[in-house]
Chain A
Amino acid sequence: MSYLLLTLLLLPLIGSVLVFAWKNPASKYLALGIAFAQMLLTFYMLTGFDFKPTVDGVLQYEINYPWSNYIKSNLHFGIDGMSMLMLLLTNILTPLIILSSFNEKPGYRNTFYGLILLMQFGLIGVFTSLDGLLFYIFWEVTLIPIWLIAGIWGQEDKKIQFTTRFFVYTFVGSLFMLIGLIYVYNHSASFTLTDLYNADLTSGAQTVIFWFIFFAFAVKLPIFPFHSWQPDTYTYSPTQGSMLLSGIMLKMAVYGLLRWLLPITPEPILGISGQIVLVLAIIGVVHGALIAIIQNDSKRLIAYSSLSHVGLMTAGIMASAILTVKGTLMIEGGEGALIQSFAHGINVVGLFYCADILYKRFKTRDIRQMGGLARVAPKFAVLFMVILLGSIALPLTNGFVGEFILIKSIFDYSIIAAVIAGTTMIFSSVYLFRFYAKAMFGEGDEEVLASAGDLTGVEFSVLASLVVFVIFLGIFPQPILDMVNSSLKFIFTSMMN
């Protein structure tokens, strides 16, 4: 059975090499084919997946080969419910992201698609590795392709400055995580996940390691004071780069928080550190939403909205973690964060794509200069609206389930915190409806509108696929909750000891 996982891991790597080598415009079809095969393989793996294992946190499709005796590290991969959810997210979104760029024609396209597949390889590695060093390696592997995508195809005038800042920020964060992991490794038998969980660490060391590893995740998410790279990078990257970054890549940090940080260093959560993180996350929720309200640049608006949503996920995780470490097993925060990761991935990719479609029609990202598109593009107006409602967390859309559970878990910890964090639902409707109203209704430049036209086939298929997920998960979220339940129980229980 483990060959399935091995194929899943290696297919994008081999695919990216092939696409790099094949300098032909048709290479985009090869890239799409590989990403699509990847998606089908993930669905096939889902059919053989045990949703309710008898032992909590049991790993399926496990691969374990010795890699280096010298470093006591193994090629250890495996999937539990949490990983499976993230794999689904990655492999559903990647083909859509590749498809979404089919209408564009800047140079060196095969390199572009090769980099996206390489990125997919890194992401699958992050979500399946069960060895600390492998996790770190894949974590860094994802950085190079996205950096090149942002740098080569980004907006010409400012890309050097912002891509450098993005790279340096995330690299510094990762280095701190590496130091933290090395320290834990020196006090455990090997880099294997369970060995790291059982490492013999003093309370003081745990606090330092907590902050070191947290720093990497905080930059990637991003959490409030570490976010200054994010709006600029999201804005000046090409659309596909923004989609990869916000749709999938930041979920690495949510996943990392649950899988790697909290179980390795449970003690600081109980102390002041856990509360600081919770407070920072809630500040991020309000801060991001308030700034999004005054944005006129469509991509920037989405970037800040993403900051706000991510803050809520972190706050939910931390609230449940604090309660768990105190003695009552609570996994709601984790459940909410994971289902919200999935939903947010779908929604934010949709929003960025809508912003891109608007940019193509109006040749500007300034929402004040748009208007009236709903008249000439009814299909777009409907699909955009559904995605928007998902993002606002309207009941029966995918966003609602996650936000509800998250706010409930924060409520369990502190009512005041829940009230403040809950404002995200109000604010997000303010800024997103403002965006929608300016772009779709009102008076528009008649010349632009006349030539704008409705969605093309590619655009329609991408948006429609996303909308299917928005509605389906809103009505029927139970499978995802079942899927992550057992792995979260395992993780939160190991924090209690």
Chain B
Amino acid sequence: MSVLIIIFLTAVIALFAGVFEQGKFSRYIGILGLMIAFYVSFLPEISFFSQYQHMFEFGANAALFTKIAIVITILLFFLGGFSFSNHRNHQSELYALMLFSLCGGIILFGFQNLVTLFLGVEILSIPLYVLAGSNKTDLRSNEASIKYFLMGAFATGFLLFGVALIYGSSGSFDLYKIHEFAVVNPKNLMFILGAVLMLVALAFKVSLAPFHMWSPDVYQGSPSLITAFMMSVVKIASFFAFFKLMTIGFLGITGEWINIIGVLIIITLFLANVMGLAQTNVKRMLAYSSVSHVGYLSLIFYGMNSLSSYNLAFYLFAYSLATVGVMMCLIWVEKLKRETSYTAFNGLAHTEPILAVAATVSLLSMAGIPLTAGFMGKFSIFAQAIDQAPFLVLVAVLGSAISIAYYLRLIMAMFFPKESSFKTSERVSLTYNIVAVFIIFALVTMGVFPDLFAKQFGL
């Protein structure tokens, strides 16, 4: 709770700092505030905040995911600066909105009540509708904004109707009371219908196919930094909310929804990977790849055990780091070339080796090649699910097999041409190189010493 307050205050200060200058301060204020919040998240909760009417609990899992989300947001803030190149004015609002969105995410990490869930989802999403459209002169950005808003509104409708049905049948908004109700009455039709509606709403939010159709357009149209934020922090928050709701609230009726998720996983993995293969634009490819990762992640619902939430955290952190690693490369290429097709990346490794290696390690991590974090993430999720759902794991393996082809295409574009298509006069800033080295280091360390991450987060 104290972390949430710190980030909220940081956002307000960053917003007001924009009155005095054009966005430089707010970025540093944001980084400073996030770092303080990161530090505070390791401290025990102040007792004044610990009881909050059973609306919000900041337990071990919530703390773990909060730390991950904060680390990723800090990295993204370091990458800020020229990435909103179309409009150098009014940048502080954008940083503030990202922080507000992160607040929504933290509420989702700690929700214990369907009202808090709803609040979290909305606080997470509404700033994003604005952020997606923040490239005001770009038609695609406007399209992204309106598309995201309409889909978000739909999802909210489903979510609220679901909440209403759940409340109608169980008589409570409290997650644990709902859990008790579901265990006692596993055949209550109104309750099951509510659960399915909420599942659909959250499938929209995490973009599980066939509820994913907004995401490629939105991810492509938004400014790249915002896309990275949506693919990483927003995905962490919404997926964790999804996970918590299904595995705590609706645990008693698992049999009713687990098959729906199984079908969604198959559609997602097949559709996203095949569509990803067909893309010529890297940003759009990454969007489909992001959808496919939700498919792999959803295997977490199979063969649940005490380590599941840790496996989820590991996978999400690995995936988010990798996303930042590729997106920073893309931001740089987009700035120089004004486009993001595969050919735009030709020979990047010769002029920006560190950036290219970071992107390569990230892509290999996404593909699940050993000695990277992504491999450990995929491994633990597959190992958990294989006994209960061998067929789905097989589908996931085939999905990974398809996905490797489009990840390789980007690596090949960066490394294989003999000549670089970039001017050597334009070099990337030191900050970018530092973030790149951090990402390489983090991904490899997590891949080589998987236990280190566990100790770091108190597991």
Contact = CB atoms under 8 A, between A and B. Distances in A.
Interface of A: 67-71, 107, 133, 136-137, 140-141, 143-144, 148, 151-152, 159-160, 163-164, 167-168, 171-172, 175-176, 178-179, 182-183, 185-186
A163 B416 CA distance: 11
Given A68-B450, A137-B370, A144-B364, A186 B408 contact: no
A137 B368 CA distance: 11
Contacts of B379: 71, 133, 178, 182
B412 interface: yes
14 contacts: A70-B451, A71-B379, A71-B450, A136-B370, A137-B371, A140-B369, A143-B369, A144-B369, A160-B412, A171-B404, A175-B401, A176-B397, A182-B382, A183-B387
Given A151-B415, A152-B415, A178-B379, A168 B401 contact: yes
Interface in B403-443: 404-405, 408-409, 412, 415-416, 418
B278 interface: no
Contacts of B368: 175
Contacts of A141: 370-371
Contact of B397 (A133, A159, A167, A179): A179
Max chain B C-beta neighbours (<10 A), residue from A107, A144, A167, A175: A175
A178 B397 CA distance: 9
A171 B415 contact: no
Contacts of B101: none
A185 B383 contact: yes
Which size class do B's interface residues fall under?
20 to 34
B380 interface: yes
Could you tell me the dominant secondary structure of chain B's interface residues? helix
Q: Which 10 A-B pairs have the closest CB atoms?
A: A137-B370, A172-B401, A140-B370, A182-B383, A175-B397, A68-B451, A68-B450, A171-B404, A151-B416, A182-B386
Contacts of A71: 376, 379-380, 383, 450
B238 interface: no
Contact of A107 (B371, B408, B418): B418
A390 B386 CA distance: 47
Contact of A152 (B369, B371, B409, B416): B416
B9 to A, nearest CB: 37
A168 B405 contact: yes
A183 B386 contact: yes
Nearest to A140: B370
B416 A159 contact: yes
B307 interface: yes
B393 interface: yes
A310 B416 CA distance: 31
Max chain A C-beta neighbours (<10 A), residue from B409, B418, B454: B418
Given A159-B416, A179-B394, A186-B386, 19 more contacts: A67-B451, A68-B450, A71-B380, A136-B370, A140-B375, A143-B369, A151-B415, A152-B415, A160-B412, A164-B405, A168-B404, A168-B405, A168-B408, A171-B404, A175-B368, A178-B379, A178-B397, A179-B382, A186-B387
Contacts of B416: 151-152, 159-160
Contacts of B451: 67-70
A179 B386 contact: yes
A144 B369 CA distance: 9
Contacts of A140: 369-371, 375
A267 B318 CA distance: 39
Nearest to A107: B418
A164 B454 contact: no
Contact of A167 (B371, B404, B450): B404
Contacts of B409: 164
B400 interface: yes
Contacts of A164: 405, 408-409, 412
A457 B387 CA distance: 59
Contacts of B387: 183, 186
A354 to B, nearest CB: 28
Nearest to A172: B401
A164 B383 CA distance: 28
Contacts of B401: 168, 171-172, 175
Max chain A C-beta neighbours (<10 A), residue from B310, B387, B405, B416: B416
Nearest to A185: B383
Contacts of A152: 415-416
A167 B383 contact: no
A148 B393 contact: no
Contacts of A69: 451
Contacts of A167: 404, 408
B405 A70 contact: no
A172 B399 CA distance: 10
Contacts of B380: 70-71
A164 B370 CA distance: 18
Interface string B46-90: 000000000000000000000000000000000000000000000
A176 B368 CA distance: 13
Contacts of B404: 167-168, 171-172
Contacts of A159: 416
Nearest to A171: B404
B108 to A, nearest CB: 26
Nearest to A148: B415
B307 A70 contact: yes
A171 B397 CA distance: 10
A449 B371 CA distance: 50
Nearest to A186: B387
B20 to A, nearest CB: 46
A143 B390 CA distance: 26
Max chain A C-beta neighbours (<10 A), residue from B310, B379, B450: B379
A27 to B, nearest CB: 16
A137 B454 CA distance: 20
A80 B382 CA distance: 32
A200 to B, nearest CB: 13
A101 B415 CA distance: 21
Contacts of B382: 178-179, 182
Contacts of A68: 449-451
Nearest to A138: B370
A284 to B, nearest CB: 23
Interface in B347-371: 364, 367-371
Contacts of B370: 136-137, 140-141
Contacts of B390: 183
Nearest to B369: A140
Contact of B400 (A133, A175, A186): A175
Max chain A C-beta neighbours (<10 A), residue from B370, B404, B408: B370
A178 B379 CA distance: 8
A175 B408 CA distance: 16
A152 B347 CA distance: 11
Nearest to B397: A175
Interface string B384-400: 00110010011001001
A167 B367 CA distance: 12
A100 to B, nearest CB: 22
A197 to B, nearest CB: 19
Contacts of B454: 70
Contacts of B415: 148, 151-152
A183 B400 CA distance: 18
A372 to B, nearest CB: 35
Contacts of A176: 397
A246 to B, nearest CB: 22
A325 B379 CA distance: 32
A466 B380 CA distance: 45
A137 B364 CA distance: 13
